[in-house]
Chain A
Amino acid sequence: MVTVTTPLKAESRDLNFIYNGGIHALKGINMPLYEKKITALIGPSGCGKSTFLRCFNRMHDLYPGNKYQGQIVMHPDNTNVLDAGVDPIEVRMRISMVFQKPNPFPKSIYENVAYGLRVRGERNKRIIDDKVEEALKGAAIWDEVKDRLHDLAFNLSGGQQQRLCIARALATDPEIMLFDEPTSALDPIATANIEELMTELRDKLTILVVTHNMQQAARISDYTAYMYLGEMVEYGDTDRIFTNPTRKETEDYITGKFG
């Protein structure tokens, strides 16, 4: 059950998002993100869940003409990450992201994980070495790669590449980690590994995950939000959403009648 004492890490307040070309993809989204919990976004394709996720680290800024309205406020400092005066690079330093398809850089395993530290200007090799090892251990891939840290990352399997991408995102000690359908390109065993890893990461940071897989949301998340046509239909404790949804649309979706 939701306990009142769980602190908020971030929340979206009346968030609207309009794509270049005028598509109104998010309509008045209000949602809390509780600290050191996993929040899952579910809903049919095109419902806006990935769009919503990508607002948190301002990924939409990479493409011209997109418009945000409303706020995503981070706690405890009350920074509105969507504020025009807030540097998106600073936002991304605090909120990291793991993508749908593993996207390692054309570099060695080591350099992939060191990347975030290097772009932050870290030059001390000892610090980087330690951070890389810590991140790879944190992403449960250290044992598999410790003897070949300087191999090209492309030589890893898909599941390993995704864990490497998680390590890369971990290395910079983010406060929030965004996962955009992190297992949709992986086989069931690799998926199970990533899910286990995510539940372990909950001890360290706040997670927001988009998933197409409702069982996955049920297995790993603490809170679930169901989105449809750019609106947040229902948000709540995962157990309650899956056992006793209050909205008919949510029930239809999770029981497979729709979507």
Chain B
Amino acid sequence: MGLEISDRLAKKFRRNLIERGIEFLLLLAAMSAVFTTVAIVSILLYESYTFFEHVSLLDFLTDTQWTPLFADAHYGIMPLVSGTVTTAAIALAFAIPVGTIGAIYLSEFASHRVRETVKPILELLEGVPTIVFGYFALLLVTPLLQKFIPGLPTFNMLGPGIVIGIMVIPYIASVSEDAMRAVPMSMREGSYAMGATRFQTAIRVVTPAAISGIIAAYILAISRAVGETMVVAIAAGQQPNLTFNPMDSAATITAYIVQVAMGDLPHGSIGYQSIFAAGLVLMLMTLFFNLLGHFTRKKFREAY
């Protein structure tokens, strides 16, 4: 008997050890994302700190020129922000309506067969390398636009903006469609039973019921559009311009970062540090949109 008990104790000890080991591994996996984020933020902050020792924050925010690599260097982030905001805004102005309507169609109107064909194709579009989209903008969309808008320069924000829009449509459509399909059938039946049409049901009942998921899709799309690099680097001209005019060429924060990172700037130079300051601004922008999305979703969260 005594032997048996000690046997069991030994087993219990081993079991606990294994349990703890597994728990630790799981924790490690979960923490890896947190560590990475912390590391990125600290490097950004650290390098930007050096940058801001040379450039005052006021100049950074108010100067209207961004020419860190010129003899007459200016460090105003606003031209890059305006380029980023304009291309992202064009993209979203295009992608949000198209993506949302696409989601409504797929979820509420399309037959089973159409949905099962279209959705994988949409999701395939998510996997196309962005450099392909960049040349798509430069060599196809902009020349096409030039036929309708005479005087549109080869490098402009409109073409890349639209192409980024095309890129994020699958995100919006696919995530919103998932959210709409998660709305219980009983809610749709309730609407139909009241004599509503399919369209009324889709717009007045299903969409509001899925709104928190739809907003999540929009936030994902905004972050993608703001952070998109290759399309604008290739097709928007890489010239920091403080303008919101889609016809102008411009550079975005990300386009500037690749431009500088691909050159041969000495490590520790002010030009090199500037990419971290720009990166920090980009991160703050996406953080802002993510937080905005988080709180809007909370506000609209529906329990059903």
Q: Which of A29-37, A67-75, A90-98 contacts B (4 or more CB under 8 A)?
A: A90-98
Interface string of A97-110 (1 = CB under 8 A from B): 10101011111000
Q: Are A92 and B189 in contact (CB under 8 A)?
A: no
Q: Does A139 contact B (CB under 8 A)?
A: no
Q: Are A154 and B197 in contact (CB under 8 A)?
A: no
**Contact partners of B195 in chain A: CB under 8 A:** 89-90, 92-93, 116, 119-120, 172
Smallest distance from the beta carbon of B114 to chain A beta carbons, Å? Answer: 13
**Contact partners of A152 in chain B: CB under 8 A:** 302
Q: Are A62 and B209 in contact (CB under 8 A)?
A: no
Q: Are B192 and A154 in contact (CB under 8 A)?
A: no
**Contact partners of A62 in chain B: CB under 8 A:** 188-189, 192
Q: Are A168 and B194 in contact (CB under 8 A)?
A: yes
Known: A107-B208, A154-B303. A119 touches B190 (CB 8 A): no
**Contact partners of B186 in chain A: CB under 8 A:** 99, 101, 103
**Contact partners of B192 in chain A: CB under 8 A:** 59, 62, 92
Q: Does A198 contact B (CB under 8 A)?
A: no
Interface residues on B, range: 20 to 34
Q: Does B304 contact A (CB under 8 A)?
A: yes
Q: Does A235 contact B (CB under 8 A)?
A: no
Q: Which of A111-168 contact B (CB under 8 A)?
A: 115-116, 118-120, 152, 154, 165, 168
**Which of B184, B191, B193, B204 counts the most A-chain CB atoms under 10 A from its CB?**
B193
Q: Does B281 contact A (CB under 8 A)?
A: no
A93, closest chain B residue (CB)? B195
Q: Are B189 and A116 in contact (CB under 8 A)?
A: no
Smallest distance from the beta carbon of A54 to chain B beta carbons, Å? Answer: 9
Known: A103-B187, A105-B205, A106-B302. A97 touches B193 (CB 8 A): yes
Rounded to whole angstroms, the CA-CA distance of A57 and B304 in the bound complex is: 24
Q: Are B197 and A59 in contact (CB under 8 A)?
A: no
Smallest distance from the beta carbon of B235 to chain A beta carbons, Å? Answer: 41
**Contact partners of B204 in chain A: CB under 8 A:** 105, 115, 118-119
Q: Are B208 and A96 in contact (CB under 8 A)?
A: no
Q: Are A105 and B196 in contact (CB under 8 A)?
A: no
Smallest distance from the beta carbon of A259 to chain B beta carbons, Å? Answer: 26
Q: Which of A171-195 contact B (CB under 8 A)?
A: 172
Q: Does A26 contact B (CB under 8 A)?
A: no
Q: Does A169 contact B (CB under 8 A)?
A: yes
Rounded to whole angstroms, the CA-CA distance of A110 and B209 in the bound complex is: 17
**Contact partners of B209 in chain A: CB under 8 A:** 105-106
Known: A119-B196, A154-B302, A172-B195. 14 other contacts (CB 8 A): A57-B193, A62-B188, A89-B196, A89-B197, A99-B189, A99-B190, A103-B190, A105-B190, A105-B191, A105-B208, A116-B195, A118-B204, A152-B302, A154-B303
Q: What are 16 A-B residue pairs whose CB atoms fall within 8 Å in the complex?
A: A57-B193, A59-B189, A89-B197, A93-B195, A103-B184, A103-B187, A103-B189, A105-B204, A105-B205, A105-B208, A106-B205, A106-B211, A107-B208, A115-B191, A115-B204, A119-B204
